[in-house]
Amino acid sequence: MKIVILDGYTANPGDLSWDGLKAFGELTVYERTKPEELLERAKGAEVLLTNKVIIDAEAMAALPDLRYIGVLATGYNVVDIAEAHRRGIAVTNIPAYSTMSVAQMVMAHLLNITNRVALHAEAVRDGEWQNCKDFSFSKAPLIELDGLTFGIVGLGNIGQQVAKMVQTFGMKVLAVSSKSEAELRQLNIRKATGYEQLFSEADVVSLHCPLTDETHHLVNRERLALMKPTAILINTGRGPLLDEQAVAEALLAGKLYAVGIDVLTEEPPRKGSPLISAPNCFITPHIAWASKAARRRLIDIATQNVAAFLQGKELNRI
């Protein structure tokens, strides 16, 4: 059986192993695959694994041997699911592999904004402390989290883990969630009546909902206008959850204190983004998922998915 990984580099830049998949057949791993290279590289493959390479109806029609598509991520919008179902092609994804790593990145952005450790450490390196008249100095406001309200949109695995983490800092959690008030009460979380309450009351808003037609530009001018000028916005979900222009304008106007994000609407941002040059906006390059531990889990689950498929079982099937 021919197995092809189309874009394996981000999951495994060389510090992990694909050997588990080799047990199932002839494995070929490409670091990256351009759209025009897809059909030639996938020709004859029964099992195809992709992260960002798009497998659409046209590609499936040109690959008659294809029986299985494994998405090396949680989101699976790179595959035409309806067409795969029509053709009897199994599609799987990798759920919940990066929960702890993404939650940790939320905390990294939050603590970076409230404590600015890197800024102060660099100032010390540049000699500012040595030349200071006082025993202590600060280059940015230092914000204590205890007692502040942390608003969460979406209480899936990651949202719940973030809630646990911020609660250890003494923060009160308010959430927009489909879960009942009774369920949230058990988690010591207050259920918001809707977006208006959450955006107006929260000192920090963190997004953990899927990207859908309803959540596209969830954070827009109207909701930004509800936020406190001292509020912090964090997005480790999907870039288009934000109206990036509106967020940049809010930062420039001082209507929003700071933003920490790991995702943009265009990735990489080859056409630029208004957020890149916006004040008090801290952007990491979509790496919240990419700790070695999380990537190892991703590969392990991908291997288990293929094994289950070959045994006629359904595991993480979409």
The Cα–Cα gap between 290 and 104 comes to 11
Residue 208: name the closest of 147, 163, 148, 254 by CA: 163
As beta bridge partners, residue 233 has 205, 259
SS3 of 41, please?
A: helix
Catalogue the active-site residues: 238, 267, 286
The SS3 call for residue 40 is helix
- The span from the CA of 126 to the CA of 261, in Å, is 27
Q: 13: cis peptide before it, omega within 30°?
A: no
**Gap between the Cα atoms of 173 and 159, Å rounded:** 11
CA-based nearest residue to 267, from 294, 296, 295, 288: 288
Residue keyed to tokens 């409230």: 114
The count of C-alpha atoms lying within 13 angstroms of the C-alpha of 254, restricted to the half-sphere facing its C-beta, is 0
Taking each helix axis from N to C terminus, what angle separates 117-125 and 99-115, rounded to the nearest 10 degrees? 60
Helix-then-strand count for the chain, H and E: 12, 12
Pair 31, 51: CB distance under 8 Å: no
